[in-house]
Structure 1
């Protein structure tokens, strides 16, 4: 058997990638109705189209022209993508206003960003100083990912979170600074395998309160006490907990209401 080395398939051309970008919109935005509408009214597509044209020029060593194309895209769309940023296939920026992607940022395939997202640097030095996003990441509105951190595949970043550290595959991060609150694959991806349910974020504070309530209930059962009323604790009283896992107010406690 001869040792035959098969050549790697050539990378897709610019216009092929732009076509994939537009087609991917329909799997991630139910408001999209047809390709003409996407091409003419989606600022995220406009900014990405211009970046697809500017990036090859940047790779060839040109500087002013790709920067000028990026500048025009920012004026037109309010989306600032440095022409040096490496962006994968089927990339989608929803709404788009305020998105910033730095020079050394690297974005994998099938990534989704919402408005106000920043992929920013944290160093004055040249070299790698911006984030790397793996395939299938979803970054919620207003989130900031700072420095040369690496987000694994299918990571979800909650809205307004600030990510300053590496994140493993299939994780969900929320908060300032962002913390991993869930690590498991998505159960309900869309047809492209992307989980767009970035609004279904775990609440670590509510989770901690729930644990405390469960612990109190366990201790009360151990002590034979099921609740405390105005006259003291008795087995007949029970702590009432609503569906939101918050302790209900005593029935005799009233608060003033504002007149209309």
Structure 2
């Protein structure tokens, strides 16, 4: 076949494929129509947002590593100025993503709401930094291979995932649409740790190694909890309505009380309570409540004591 005839055949296929893909019946279920001339949220902009927030929350570790106490005010102020601009824009885009209005033009309500909620988020940053500092300390104390809390801040995937989660959880609590989920999914892609922004996680939380950990939307986790890689805190069942559709919302994930340790590969499902100080061994499947202080592992009944670390 001559080069001319081959190119003509390719052009014919391209034209036919274009016609098929432009048929409304083909794209109607996967097409996002921007409303109010507002573009989609930007992963690139949100990546910059998180880079600047890390520079604010952990000065010297991220961003300008030569920051000093004398230059701290400029360093923090310059980054917060950009955080305010980026976040306001992305929060507005998140609202417009779900907007049910079909008319074009500006949406003043979404813009004003985005500015207000961004201001509230910025006001929460001192407390957020305090929580992350405690998470870093917990990682240092809980991992014998760690030589300093700073090593956990700079190197550990759990601190990456927790930084994204704690930022996203504040935004989720404020009622921001879409952006919190994007932020936690960015961390999920980078670390393998999947934390829904709706989960409630207490102080001094540590996930050792982390890969494959899943924490569901309605989980409630207390203080001083430690998980290992591959732990699932998930839902046991998904109720459906009369039309067979999943019922959204509702408490369906575990409550994990203070001082619990859950070892690698364990699966904890349903709205059950894991009592304070309980220890769940590796690869154990738990679907019922555990009392405070319980210690369980494979092939051991509930309540049989274990030597620390034995079989876990």
Find the counterpart in structure 1 of residue 131 from structure 2: 17
1:180: Cα distance to partner? 1.1
Find the counterpart in structure 1 of residue 194 from structure 2: 80
Pick one of 260, 274, 277 that aligns with 1:154.
277
Find the counterpart in structure 2 of residue 33 from structure 1: 147
1:34: Cα distance to partner? 2.3
1:17: Cα distance to partner? 0.4
> TM-score, normalising length from structure 2?
0.54
CA distance in 2, matches of 1:171, 1:182: 8
SS in 2 for 1:44: helix
Pick one of 210, 228, 233 that aligns with 1:119.
233
Q: CA RMSD in A?
A: 2.1
Pick one of 250, 257, 264 that aligns with 1:134.
257
State the aligned residue count.
179
Unaligned runs of 5+ in 2: 1-125, 239-246
Distance 1:183 1:200, change over 3 A: closer
SS in 2 for 1:181: coil
The question of 1:169 aligning with 2:279 is answered no
Runs of 4+ in 1 over 4 A off after TM superposition: none
CA distance in 2, matches of 1:145, 1:17: 25
CA deviation vs aligned residue, 1:102-122 (integer Å, no higher than 9, x gap): 000010000000000000012
> TM-score, normalising length from structure 1?
0.65
The question of 1:64 aligning with 2:186 is answered no
Question: Is the CA contact 2:139–2:149 (under 8 Å) kept in the aligned structure 1?
Answer: no
Unaligned runs of 5+ in 1: 1-11, 187-196, 203-260
1:80: Cα distance to partner? 0.2
Matches within 5 A, 1:1-260: 13-124=127-238, 125=247, 126-175=249-298, 179-182=301-304, 197=308, 199-201=309-311
* Structure (1 or 2) with the greater helix fraction: 2
